[in-house]
Structure 1
């Protein structure tokens, strides 16, 4: 019997596909990429004196990065560490089969993985076939295997072009940034553009000067003492916008004495078309708004749904839906909602400007699957599926019909307006949004009606700058500018945070100081890299390479020629047009240890004060630093933020960033630092964060702990070198409780190994983990009965959990749960692996049982 090998990227995908293929097929997973560009660490001790003298800095760099642009872009690939066993297994199976089907994803990344697999497996090239499918269903797979093709090298070359450019930018600019700016920083071809978008928005926000204004609403009586509230929109044919309370009170006195007459009324019928089915970016945006998911989490869950066969391929920027899927969903709508909810012709949608792939939009694989019941998928994955299912069904429904009524009332020289929207026919909103039925307040009003003053209501407002980006709105901005592609959005948003150039707080992206500095340096010396149009054009060129319209090495040569010139120029001294260094800005503050002056320094960990004695003789070097804490981290009142005094730099007149030094001193630093040397000191008694005034003692060795800053935030570190104990500073400025020391439970055995459990504490509360970690990675939540049985082992702070009910009202075992938002424990129960509606919370030193359905 002839056998065939099918290779996919993930084990889950392999398992799902295996259900639909017969015994003639062996389905294996490569677990993602198996090969990448080689990276070497250059070490001179392995080179002879002659070779060292003959080698140049250029040769050494090419030796390290695995590609050589000076030698027709010769590339050196290597099998990724840890993938040797997988490759060996695939090779062995490949020798025993007649056909090898490369069924990796259908985007360029998937095409490249297929090519790499073919290269590492080797053997007869005629054995390899390419198989692509948009969804993992029986029909789609059957159709795909009846329409096999070959690897598309144009698409592979497009992926290689992107990879080569990213490698060149990352590895050739980073040494320069280490030398000129700070150790540990780096640049990315697309990531740096994303940081620029956030940095420029940050600049706008910091320089924004809020202006006070007031809004006025008037309540009026009309027939049978009914009242209606209208907004005052105009005065003397100009927009009504009082700038202070005194001006507003004057207007109120005038309007109270006025006669109110209905001057104009207009009723119109409007139709609102349904939104398009999801593409990658709109899915990420909706998940952020509706479900509170990060871009990374959304893509992780969507990938799971795709691999389990519930939805179509998730990396797409096309709104196209195939004819059969449209027919199926229209039938479903007719059966469940009626003919009124189906448009005469199917709805079609235009693709975005830079749409590249001829894929389908994201939709359910089977429209009849309204809810999923799969132990491999958690509640969040089920929520995501419901969102995708609802959006797809709604996209093929009739438009929503509503009546918009506008009433204009004149009172002397004032104009008052009210607009009402009443839904006449829900259409697609029946499934996608729960709209409340609004009772009309103005239906009986007619032109010429008189109304009478009841009361005035005013609200103080302040003009606001553009909002900060969140992950989803950043993706939307990248998409609008043609930067990146569906397969790269998640990587972009994750990397800029991991590198420490951007931080996320309350779902908003803030540019860190180092991110701003790098943006300014790159914008000056590598203007094309950070140019939005250049990056968008490069994305178009990659598309053209994939379509065989441009030769890929020509694109690379053109890019590298310009890049090399800019790099050499940037290496020069600043006075010769080179990159400006990240200099220390000296202040009048004296070092508490050696009394030398301290300077403002910027590093990947943040802004801090550093003693100028650090640059002295290494034997006499002073290493004293003082952490600076940004005031922005502790402005919880938005109104307070708007009206707080803005400090201006005396040197360049720009706004200044404000920091706590301690409880009695603030420092205001020009946002153009270190290019501008402006700063001011402010002394007084300040309401600074708790951790600046508290002395922390290590609970392990009882030594003092000092405040430190990393790219992941602030924390306290024990001064004893061999202790290494840490305490995290929480988002609200408080210091985290001491971590629970691991507690061995030798009598509780793991189910997957001979190991026993250890009780540990993490960000999600206490949990049991195998004592042989990482050899065994088994973890689970503790049952209450287990804590009750061994309560003598528990520390005081969690001993109360052992007193919780051991079973719920239906004799299901109870389990310890943790709410990450409130940082509190509660007790739940499970039946057949799923949580029930029963839970218990600890209130006033006793357990209170709650049934969520009630």
Structure 2
């Protein structure tokens, strides 16, 4: 009997699965996708007319050379029945060759990639690359990597689901069409370096429209009035004044407050009603992808990307079920296990008579919710197995799953009412009387304050007014998106699917259309301009309902309810019509161009007016005489930086509301103006938030650099000349007047450590490419990276034994690291790490690729083992 080949997409997954299969199985990893459409830079479109496929026979009409070139670069041909040019991904040739050799030696091949559409597509590509009779291949799927589920899956193999593969291809092709055909148009009409995405542009639109609402919002003043009383038993209570003349009590300004305070001081008060009622709160549903991302962002501060990376590792190690799901379904076996656990650990009163079933009407996949694979494995038992962040996420999942089957939490709500003349006052208090599912979830989610004890108060009691407490407020604009709230909004609108939320958010950040400050999304000006251009000429493409409609179409393809190429043809036909229209001149209905807006400042070189320009690199002032066709072309520019980036004064929502009240508004459209400071600190430039649609602007001359004096005596670490304080596109920094050496100023005001020339280690080769490692020193310590970093982003921590081997190559300030122990007492190798709190390098040992609990720090001139 020959060997059986099992192919998965992850080395960690392969390692876990290999534990449960006998020696007749060879488990190999493809390390993700092994075949894809060709990678290429977007082609810049010249003016030409695009055509659409013939609806009857899908044959192409005559296509010009420019369009043929685009099709070649895209790797898909919408004019030739959507023929695709799939290629081995560069760097994966060796893996593909090895899998082909192993496949020839195997009697049978099992494709055990993930159970979502992406996993199905990887399996299909593997089958195509290996080739041969389809009967040699079987598909195995499982939603948790445990021995029971793995063996069960291999006993019941299935065939590849080509419908799910086609759904993945349809998504990929549509995204490719938009990216390769709209992006060059943005280069031509707006600015170079821009890109568009079918779903990502919709997410940017959400953030852009929220930004617009915030900038145009005018806060209105209002007041609330509270009163402190003492009861006849000398107990203090606090009440809100809620009604006046049987209408909701509303105070618009301080005059209203003063008027009512004078009246209230003269009145006597009596308790007129005490209402007590019981409230039951049902336990939360188990996590699905979106709710896990939201919870991890809110409670752990994890980004969506970080959450999914950690969840992927937990799944591949066999600790949790599959993490890309929109289903709250729980298997019967898991229900039985968790109910037995609750009964054993907490007793009868914490378990319902029947299991709680959570229905998710929007679920498109027959997956389970995200839950622990072994309910008896709590986070504390994983201290030596996984890192701290992974334990935190595992505990979040574990607690949520147990809580979802526990009894309701019981609260007692007491509403205390008092009246005086035309006024009505109330105080509410909610007390937990039975914790139920609160027993297992973090208590910080359910904290409450106690304002009074109802036992000390009776109806008819007189209460004595001690103090009136007026508080000023302003109406709030809609809140900015956080990663958690953006995922929630995307899910609510039906945009994207569990497997795409992380990619959507990562992509819009990488493209530079949005930025994150204090965990909130802000739209960059170029992102706002691109959104407005797409809304004008591609209104259907970035329409919320249309995007959700296309997601439903993809689901229908996966369920074999519609033909995938017909969906693509319909999409492409409408898309090309819009693209042809957008190609026209603006006055003919085409996409508007990104024109400059002139300001009152004269160009320091040629005295012509400067203008506000928006590019992919940011907002800047450019001379209006810039025209490459003219002999008198002036290329003078002045960089601008947002004032908020310099002084960082919008740390929370309250600061932002205060800013909306005090900031200048455009005299033309009453929108809040963005405030920029020129990098020479001589001018403050106020630009209408609606720029370039509105040309409102003001310029103020002065000296606006308040921090320069803090860095007067800083000397260059290389030539010891004076360093000047400057502000650039990427923030504050110091620049040497002699050798142009630069050092970044960190957010806390400290100067970043001097940059060092990377030390080459050609003997140490990268694992994922043909590159070699260099040693780099950053503000967060030393690390090995590919020599072509950041083009190739392979990085890792240095082994102490490697530094010992090449000690003569190290700069003097790092040679102490080579003196560290190269192994721990048990013989495990040590690596270099950086402690952010202590701001120093230290060493830890690793065993089977994971950190142990052993560590050592360099203290008082020698390496000393840390005491845990």
Task: Classify the TM-score, shorter chain.
Answer: 0.7 to 0.9
Deviations 1:493-540 (CA, angstroms, capped at 9, x unpaired):
000000000111111111100110000000110001111000000000
- The structure 1 residue matched to 2:501, chosen from 468, 475, 489, is 489
Deviations 1:549-590 (CA, angstroms, capped at 9, x unpaired):
101111111111110000000000001000000011222212
Matching residue of 2:657: 642
SS in 2 for 1:223: coil
Tell me: CA distance 1:24–1:801, structure 2 relative to 1, closer, same or farther (3 Å): closer
Does residue 779 of structure 1 match 2:808?
Answer: no
Give matches, 1:392-541, under 5 Å: 392-434=401-443, 441-444=452-455, 445-541=457-553
Tell me the CA shift for residue 683 of structure 1: 3.4
Larger deviation, residues 689-698 vs 628-637: 689-698
Say if 1:631 and 1:659, in contact at 8 Å, map to a contact too.
yes
Tell me the CA shift for residue 59 of structure 1: 1.5
Q: Distance in 2 between matches of 1:416 and 1:263?
A: 10
Tell me: CA distance 1:200–1:72, structure 2 relative to 1, closer, same or farther (3 Å): same
Give matches, 1:650-729, under 5 Å: 650-661=667-678, 663-686=681-704, 690=708, 699-700=717-718, 713-714=730-731, 726-729=742-745
Q: Distance in 2 between matches of 1:793 and 1:88?
A: 42
What is the RMSD computed on CA atoms of the aligned residues?
A: 4.2
Tell me the CA shift for residue 815 of structure 1: 10
Does residue 553 of structure 1 match 2:565?
Answer: yes
Larger deviation, residues 624-633 vs 275-284: 624-633
Tell me the CA shift for residue 263 of structure 1: 1.4
Matching residue of 1:196: 205
Deviations 1:352-373 (CA, angstroms, capped at 9, x unpaired):
53x2111000000010111243
Q: Distance in 2 between matches of 1:583 and 1:772?
A: 37
Say if 2:7 and 2:112, in contact at 8 Å, map to a contact too.
yes
Tell me the CA shift for residue 416 of structure 1: 1.7
Say if 2:842 and 2:858, in contact at 8 Å, map to a contact too.
yes
Does residue 291 of structure 1 match 2:291?
Answer: no
Tell me: CA distance 1:376–1:599, structure 2 relative to 1, closer, same or farther (3 Å): farther
Does residue 368 of structure 1 match 2:376?
Answer: yes
Matching residue of 1:3: 3
Q: Distance in 1 between matches of 2:329 and 2:75?
A: 39
- The structure 2 residue matched to 1:357, chosen from 365, 375, 381, is 365
Does residue 267 of structure 1 match 2:276?
Answer: yes
Tell me the CA shift for residue 266 of structure 1: 0.8
Matching residue of 2:15: 15
Tell me: CA distance 1:360–1:776, structure 2 relative to 1, closer, same or farther (3 Å): closer
Matching residue of 1:612: 624
Say if 1:691 and 1:735, in contact at 8 Å, map to a contact too.
no
Deviations 1:8-58 (CA, angstroms, capped at 9, x unpaired):
0000000000000111110000000011112457999xxxxxxxx994322
Larger deviation, residues 302-311 vs 681-690: 681-690
Deviations 1:257-281 (CA, angstroms, capped at 9, x unpaired):
2211111211111111000000000
Tell me: CA distance 1:229–1:396, structure 2 relative to 1, closer, same or farther (3 Å): same
Tell me: CA distance 1:604–1:230, structure 2 relative to 1, closer, same or farther (3 Å): same
Tell me the CA shift for residue 414 of structure 1: 2.2
Tell me the CA shift for residue 605 of structure 1: 1.3
Deviations 1:700-743 (CA, angstroms, capped at 9, x unpaired):
46597896856xx346597999x885533544677644335568
Q: Distance in 2 between matches of 1:655 and 1:178?
A: 29
Matching residue of 2:578: 566
Larger deviation, residues 189-198 vs 211-220: 211-220
Q: Distance in 1 between matches of 2:554 and 2:413?
A: 47
SS in 1 for 2:594: coil
Say if 2:800 and 2:818, in contact at 8 Å, map to a contact too.
no
Matching residue of 1:738: 754
Say if 1:407 and 1:442, in contact at 8 Å, map to a contact too.
no
SS in 1 for 2:454: coil
Does residue 764 of structure 1 match 2:780?
Answer: yes
Does residue 593 of structure 1 match 2:605?
Answer: yes
Q: Distance in 1 between matches of 2:306 and 2:780?
A: 17
Q: Distance in 2 between matches of 1:92 and 1:373?
A: 38
Matching residue of 1:323: 332
Q: Distance in 1 between matches of 2:89 and 2:541?
A: 29
SS in 1 for 2:315: helix
Say if 1:11 and 1:28, in contact at 8 Å, map to a contact too.
yes
Structure 1: stretches of 5+ with no match in the other structure: 45-52
Say if 1:605 and 1:709, in contact at 8 Å, map to a contact too.
no
Tell me: CA distance 1:300–1:725, structure 2 relative to 1, closer, same or farther (3 Å): farther
Q: Distance in 1 between matches of 2:403 and 2:424?
A: 39
Say if 1:691 and 1:733, in contact at 8 Å, map to a contact too.
no
Larger deviation, residues 260-269 vs 370-379: 370-379
TM-score computed with the length of structure 2 as normaliser: 0.86
Tell me: CA distance 1:336–1:766, structure 2 relative to 1, closer, same or farther (3 Å): same
Q: Distance in 2 between matches of 1:850 and 1:138?
A: 38
Tell me the CA shift for residue 245 of structure 1: 3.3
SS in 2 for 1:515: helix
Q: Distance in 2 between matches of 1:453 and 1:794?
A: 73
Tell me: CA distance 1:95–1:851, structure 2 relative to 1, closer, same or farther (3 Å): closer
Q: Distance in 1 between matches of 2:392 and 2:124?
A: 36
Matching residue of 2:48: none
Say if 1:814 and 1:827, in contact at 8 Å, map to a contact too.
no
Tell me: CA distance 1:646–1:272, structure 2 relative to 1, closer, same or farther (3 Å): same
Deviations 1:621-673 (CA, angstroms, capped at 9, x unpaired):
54322121213333246555434434333444433222123544222212222
Q: Distance in 2 between matches of 1:813 and 1:540?
A: 52
Q: Distance in 2 between matches of 1:417 and 1:850?
A: 57
Q: Distance in 1 between matches of 2:369 and 2:866?
A: 42
SS in 2 for 1:64: helix
Larger deviation, residues 829-838 vs 514-523: 829-838
Q: Distance in 1 between matches of 2:468 and 2:858?
A: 48
Tell me the CA shift for residue 840 of structure 1: 11
SS in 2 for 1:134: coil
Larger deviation, residues 759-768 vs 560-569: 759-768
Tell me the CA shift for residue 404 of structure 1: 0.7
TM-score computed with the length of structure 1 as normaliser: 0.87
Structure 2: stretches of 5+ with no match in the other structure: 45-61
